[in-house]
């Protein structure tokens, strides 16, 4: 039974005093009993939040009531349990790390690829003069991607600008970019235009919206998401599995994080190997002294860090006066 909702959204819109806004927005989300992860930057918002339908409704109404975010489009999933454990809302320089020395050199509010609605994307993607480009990271497209899509060997989106030169062979074609919810495509398509690609498009709303409005047709595998669910089904037309277990090679769509916190690799692993390897990607990782307890999900809320006693000692000395100064008053 689905008793909760998960909202995926973003909005490129300038925010003054963004760091202060992030702190206030965190308290607002907590007041609605929402959990999730929101990034706030001077350029806008990027978030996934989860809560009761009523809390999610109040949140969406509040966001839309703010003129800065009135254009925000929410992708709504009905879920059986909350998709996060806690609520985080943090200020960062960008809502998507572009990897550019001057992030302001591209602005999705000024120039970006032509937005294609899911049905338009479906109609165009197999045309002869079209290249479908996945702008996501390796661990994302390894578990699911569009049929015949061009994928890039990147660990993080900030590596995308360096990969653009590898796409020069496609400059005479129509480039159809896609990602999970559309946010990375805003910057990827803007960068492609800046680099001389003339006919650039993006899948509006990303894979998630495509699954809801076009049945996910020809999306092979599952879609990686950045919450407790890890991956979600999007194709109800011609579903398939494209990923294989890192350890035994058997077809599997289950993606986990390595139980070794120092490794924490995203990889695909079948249930059988998961229990045998204790949720680790290799034998070496199974022997790590800080290996986390594998519960069959391979999802860990927080990677514990070793206590830095030297740093704590320095902080104490910095923040507190010597004992003799305290007793002197």
Over residues 72-128, the pLDDT tens digits come to: 999 999 999 999 999 999 999 999 999 998 988 999 999 999 999 999 999 999 999
In the chain, CATH 3.30.70.100 sits at: 4-91
Active-site residue among 11, 179, 245, 285? Answer: 179
Instruction: Let me know: does 69 contact 129? Beta carbons within 8 Å.
Output: no
Give the model's pLDDT for residue 325.
32
Give the model's pLDDT for residue 82.
96
Give the model's pLDDT for residue 302.
55
Give the model's pLDDT for residue 315.
37
CATH of domain 4-91: 3.30.70.100
Which of 63, 16, 64, 10 lies closest to 186, judged by CA? 10
Give the model's pLDDT for residue 2.
79
Give the model's pLDDT for residue 117.
98
In the chain, CATH 3.40.250.10 sits at: 103-224
| Beta-sheet strand order (sheet of 44-51) | 75-79, 4-12, 44-51, 35-41, 87-91
* Distance separating alpha carbons of residues 3 and 23, to the nearest angstrom: 28
pTM over 0.75: yes
Q: Which residues contact 140 (CB under 8 A, 6 or more apart)?
A: 180, 224
Give the model's pLDDT for residue 299.
82
Instruction: Let me know: does 107 contact 181? Beta carbons within 8 Å.
Output: no
Give the model's pLDDT for residue 306.
44
Plot region of 86 (φ>0 → left; ψ -120 to 50 → alpha; else → beta): beta
Residues of the chain under the 70 pLDDT cut: 301-329
* Distance separating alpha carbons of residues 267 and 140, to the nearest angstrom: 9
Give the model's pLDDT for residue 116.
98
* Distance separating alpha carbons of residues 218 and 32, to the nearest angstrom: 38
Question: Is residue 245 flagged as an active site residue?
Answer: no
Instruction: Tell me the fold of 103-224.
Output: Oxidized Rhodanese; domain 1 (3.40.250)
């Amino acid at each position: 039974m689905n008793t909760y909702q998960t909202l995926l959204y973003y909005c490129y819109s300038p925010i003054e005093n963004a760091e202060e806004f992030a702190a206030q927005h965190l308290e607002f989300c907590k007041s609605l009993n929402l959990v999730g992860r929101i990034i706030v930057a001077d350029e806008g918002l990027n978030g996934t939040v989860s809560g009761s339908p009523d809390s999610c409704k109040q949140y969406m109404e509040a966001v839309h009531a703010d003129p800065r975010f009135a254009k925000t489009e929410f992708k709504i999933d009905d879920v059986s349990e909350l998709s996060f454990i806690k609520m985080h809302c943090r200020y960062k320089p960008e809502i998507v790390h572009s990897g550019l020395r001057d992030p302001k050199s591209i602005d999705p509010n000024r120039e970006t690829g032509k937005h294609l609605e899911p049905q338009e994307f479906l109609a165009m993607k197999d045309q002869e003069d079209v290249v479908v480009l996945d702008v996501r990271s390796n661990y994302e497209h390894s578990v699911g991607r569009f049929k015949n899509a061009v994928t890039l060997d990147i660990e993080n989106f900030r590596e995308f600008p360096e990969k653009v030169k590898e796409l020069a062979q496609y400059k005479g074609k129509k480039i159809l970019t896609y990602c999970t919810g559309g946010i990375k495509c805003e910057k990827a398509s803007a960068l492609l235009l800046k680099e001389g690609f003339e006919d650039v498009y993006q899948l509006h709303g990303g894979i998630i919206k495509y699954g809801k409005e076009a049945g996910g047709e020809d999306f092979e595998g599952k879609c990686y998401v950045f919450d407790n669910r890890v991956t979600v089904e999007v194709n109800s037309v011609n579903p398939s599995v494209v990923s294989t277990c890192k350890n035994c090679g058997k077809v599997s769509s289950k993606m986990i994080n390595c139980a070794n916190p120092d490794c924490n690799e995203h990889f695909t692993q079948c249930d059988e190997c998961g229990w045998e390897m204790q949720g680790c990607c290799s034998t070496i990782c199974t022997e790590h002294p800080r290996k986390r307890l594998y519960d069959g999900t391979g999802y860990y809320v927080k990677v514990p860090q070793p206590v830095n006693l030297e740093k704590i000692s320095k902080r104490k000395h910095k923040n507190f006066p010597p004992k003799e100064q305290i007793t002197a008053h």
